[in-house]
Structure 1
């Protein structure tokens, strides 16, 4: 209870009991978070017995860095006797924001270590390269690169599925080498391209949006199968992964999977333009430091192409001896 005869207290006593300044109590009152019970004849604020507990609740919510509007929603819900989600939503929002801040700090720490650990003569260039990347890093430039590379008019769902495979996600707790790999990747896709944009392999130029969607969906499945074989340390060989790989091209071209198609496809894919550097940097980014390189769509494609070339070459040799 307060010391006064009427059970109310002034702003000074409330501030003293709560361990805050008078200015803080006045701010919360003016913000509508801490209602006054009445005013004295001289116009001074008077607070009821429940104000102390309410003030402590406000302080606890503010200590979680909740905004004044968020605190008001929580208190309004409590005043109404509802068990709503205002507090849960506010805490969840703060956790998301804190997670973003922590990722940014980890990224900055690894970036600074990358600059510190490189030879002194390279530090200025390293700093400019890494400094061009936001913290936490954004994958938007990589997505734009692939959107320009993909066939036009592909269904949005097919494009999104491809981007999930082709755009690597930066690690939550990166090492200096991974920060450098992502910075180089971002610089690579942000450079102006010759002509109208990134060059797409001729073998990928399917006719129409539906055929393109069929092709890339089939390739994604084949890359997954090949990636599993690569993790086991298997050398390229004809099997389920290669069959799915060729079948994706066959269905997109509305033709059958034949030895002739496989030999033609092997020649076309071997002669097509490549973006090996993109996949090399992607592997550096997604692989654990010092561990086995994690398969990427690019390395899976190379594994499948090697299997296809080996099979096509063996088939051509057998045909010559018949």
Structure 2
């Protein structure tokens, strides 16, 4: 049964704690941090609380039950009677939902990683444990972005670089399967392989003076060529000479500030065959194992298709 305050309408700390169903220590904790102001002190120096203290204490407890940190609780209480009170609570709840989503995602990744280790053959366990141990849970894609910043031409405009990174760096799913955990662990291993330091995209133009090199022309053209080839790659059509290939060759010709001729196509086919790098091939192979590759082919798959179309034409 709920009691009432003293005849003067004030609560002692014990009475307030009893009515709220908390300990005296809890009431004192919130008081000491300024969340539950005292209305005054008794003649003996004991804390006294006004009639609104019980509702305020219950509100504090409700907010803390939602795991809101004390600074957020303080901000909500400070605006309780102000026009922005609802906004403060809404912002705090939205922040908690974001944090909880991150925590749940980490738990799902950890669970999938454990299944990956439990269900693999004993001879594979040590290698998989090494791969998983090198990656944060859930994985941080900054490592993959750094890999591509090294691989891509250093003179690309920021807007174009951002577009390419968005297309090249897959986002980790919130609820991964064990196989997806393994793919991202292997992608991390590729991106941190020391052989990446040997990759120099400027080898694409071994005969082009650096001053004449126009990398933005190349990559903008390649983006367009990939868009044209996307449906053919997704539907697994054999490579063929057409609009996508013409756009692909024009991009490389524009890089070198030259014309698209049969002789240039033969030269380009030979050069592209020489600059293949196993780390890049491995990266795109792994990205191709993710479910998103079924909906949208990877840049690597489209580039392979376009190169195959060029090779077939000049053969």
Shorter-chain TM-score above 0.5: yes
Question: How far apart are 1:193 and its partner, in Å?
Answer: 2.3
Calculate the aligned-residue CA RMSD, in Å.
2.3
- Whether 1:306 aligns to 2:284 is no
- Whether 1:273 aligns to 2:276 is yes
8 Å contact from structure 2 (residues 153, 202) kept in 1: no
CA separation in 1, counterparts of 2:221 and 2:141?
A: 24
Which residue in 1 is equivalent to 2:199?
Answer: 198
Return 247-256 or 46-55, whichever deviates more: 247-256
Which residue in 2 is equivalent to 1:225?
Answer: 228
Runs of at least 5 residues in structure 1 that lack an aligned partner in the other structure? 314-322
Structure 1 residues 161 and 120, CA, compared in 2 at 3 Å: closer, same or farther?
same
Which residue in 2 is equivalent to 1:320?
Answer: none
Which residue, 7, 28, 41 being the options, matches 1:5?
7
CA separation in 2, counterparts of 1:292 and 1:162?
A: 19
Q: Deviations over 1:76-132 (max 9, x none)?
A: 112334346322222222122111111111111111111111111221221121111
8 Å contact from structure 1 (residues 283, 293) kept in 2: no
Q: Deviations over 1:272-304 (max 9, x none)?
A: 2232111111112x226xx95852111111111
CA separation in 2, counterparts of 1:199 and 1:212?
A: 13
CA separation in 2, counterparts of 1:292 and 1:105?
A: 26
Question: How far apart are 1:153 and its partner, in Å?
Answer: 3.0
- Whether 1:242 aligns to 2:275 is no
CA separation in 2, counterparts of 1:6 and 1:293?
A: 71
Which residue in 2 is equivalent to 1:146?
Answer: 148
Runs of at least 5 residues in structure 2 that lack an aligned partner in the other structure? none
8 Å contact from structure 2 (residues 212, 257) kept in 1: no
1:67-146 correspondence to structure 2 within 5 Å? 67-83=69-85, 85-146=87-148
Structure 1 residues 298 and 201, CA, compared in 2 at 3 Å: closer, same or farther?
farther
User: Aligned residues, how many?
Assistant: 309
Which residue in 2 is equivalent to 1:287?
Answer: 291
CA separation in 2, counterparts of 1:5 and 1:22?
A: 21
8 Å contact from structure 1 (residues 148, 197) kept in 2: no
CA separation in 1, counterparts of 2:229 and 2:171?
A: 20
8 Å contact from structure 1 (residues 40, 46) kept in 2: yes
TM-score (norm 2): 0.90
Question: How far apart are 1:156 and its partner, in Å?
Answer: 2.3
